[in-house]
């Protein structure tokens, strides 16, 4: 079994300081939270960025500021910008961080209901275009999956040449698809042999899904984007505290934690500075 890759989704686009005062907005706060997660054991920082007032943005310049600040504190960490952005953004807005040529970026493989009247739209042409641009820029996509149909889309686009193997999936459970052991096993059994996967459980599902992934040989995403609590009714002090809890669970279950360079090897990324 591979060592465990921990991804920290440190701020997201929707959660605010009203949910947890430690949610980062400024460049300094984002670097602080990335460092806390990295020092606790995270190999990947899944990155959304905000303006100083908390407004989500996909501005390339803001991403560069934040990525530079993270690298100053965490030189070898894998930074994975979101191309999801926030609900209502155009494709052109969402693609801006890929102009910085990160090692990885997210690729959402379907449209979903995001709550209330909010719909996160990803047409077939959007998915193909995003995948094509990532290929041109040598960016490994993390395929974001919110239900089984998105796995099927990813496989379809792989067969058509838009997504390269080996594929890496992130199963986001507790939004459109429920977060149960049955659901996770179903998704894992649906992806091609040789693929890697991680799971992000939303809210109260974060740590049960993490424990399942650890014993099933997958990988784990935690962080304020998905959950702001360390336990029932107790707000987490930092993203690092959430990562530390996953590390403790993994230790109890006998799974070692991957360093960033070990994560690169597992995911088929180029070694740092290669």
pLDDT tens digit sequence for 31-55: 999 999 999 999 999 999 999 999 9
Q: What band does 213 get if pLDDT is binned at 50, 70 and 90?
A: very high
In the predicted model, is pLDDT for residue 131 greater than 70? Answer: yes
In the predicted model, is pLDDT for residue 114 greater than 90? Answer: no
Average pLDDT (161-186) is 97
- Across the chain, mean pLDDT equals 96
Average pLDDT (238-255) is 98
Average pLDDT (200-207) is 98
Helix (H) or strand (E) holding 231: strand 229-231
Is 49 within 8 Å of 109 (Cβ atoms)? no
In the predicted model, is pLDDT for residue 209 greater than 60? Answer: yes
pLDDT at 125: 96
* DSSP three-state, residue 268: coil
Average pLDDT (174-182) is 96
Helix (H) or strand (E) holding 213: helix 206-216
Rounded percentage of the chain residues whose pLDDT exceeds 90: 94
pLDDT at 116: 86
Whether pTM exceeds 0.95 = yes
Query: Assign residue 269 a region: left if phi > 0, alpha if psi is -120 to 50, beta otherwise?
Result: beta
Q: What band does 118 get if pLDDT is binned at 50, 70 and 90?
A: confident
Q: What is 6-267's CATH superfamily?
A: Aldolase class I (3.20.20.70)
pLDDT tens digit sequence for 60-90: 999 999 999 999 999 999 999 999 988 889 9
Could you tell me the residue ranges of all domains in the chain? 6-267
Helices (H), 46-123: 60-73, 91-95
Lowest mean pLDDT among 66-70, 98-102, 118-122, 203-207: 118-122
Rounded percentage of the chain residues whose pLDDT exceeds 70: 100
pLDDT at 274: 56
pLDDT at 272: 82
pLDDT tens digit sequence for 98-112: 999 999 999 999 999
pLDDT at 17: 98
SS in 3 state form for 102-159?
A: CCEEEEECCCEEEECCEEECCCHHHHHHHHHHHHHCCCEEEEEECCHHHHHHHHHHHH
């Amino acid at each position: 079994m591979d060592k465990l890759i921990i991804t920290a989704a440190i701020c997201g686009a929707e959660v605010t300081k009203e949910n947890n005062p430690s949610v980062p907005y400024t460049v300094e706060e984002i670097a602080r939270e990335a460092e806390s997660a990295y020092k606790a054991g995270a190999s990947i920082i899944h990155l959304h960025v905000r303006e100083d007032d908390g407004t989500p943005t996909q501005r390339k310049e803001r991403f560069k500021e934040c990525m530079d600040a993270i690298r100053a504190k965490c030189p070898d960490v894998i930074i994975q910008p979101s191309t999801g952005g926030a609900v209502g953004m155009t494709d052109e807005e969402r693609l801006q961080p890929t102009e910085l040529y990160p090692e990885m970026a997210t690729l959402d493989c379907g449209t979903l209901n995001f709550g209330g009247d909010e719909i996160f739209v990803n047409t077939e042409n959007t998915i193909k275009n995003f995948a094509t641009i990532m290929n041109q820029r040598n960016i490994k996509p993390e395929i974001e999956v919110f239900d089984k149909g998105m796995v099927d889309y990813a496989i379809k686009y792989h067969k058509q040449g838009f997504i390269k193997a080996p594929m890496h999936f992130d199963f986001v459970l507790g939004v459109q698809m429920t977060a149960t052991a049955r659901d996770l096993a179903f998704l894992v059994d649906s992806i091609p042999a040789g693929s890697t996967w991680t799971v992000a459980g939303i809210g109260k599902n974060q740590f049960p899904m993490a424990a399942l992934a650890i014993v099933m040989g997958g990988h784990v995403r935690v962080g304020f984007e998905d959950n702001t609590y360390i336990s029932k009714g107790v707000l987490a002090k930092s993203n690092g505290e959430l990562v530390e809890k996953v590390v403790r669970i993994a230790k109890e279950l006998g799974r070692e934690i991957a360093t960033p360079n070990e994560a690169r090897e597992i995911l088929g990324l180029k070694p740092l500075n290669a």
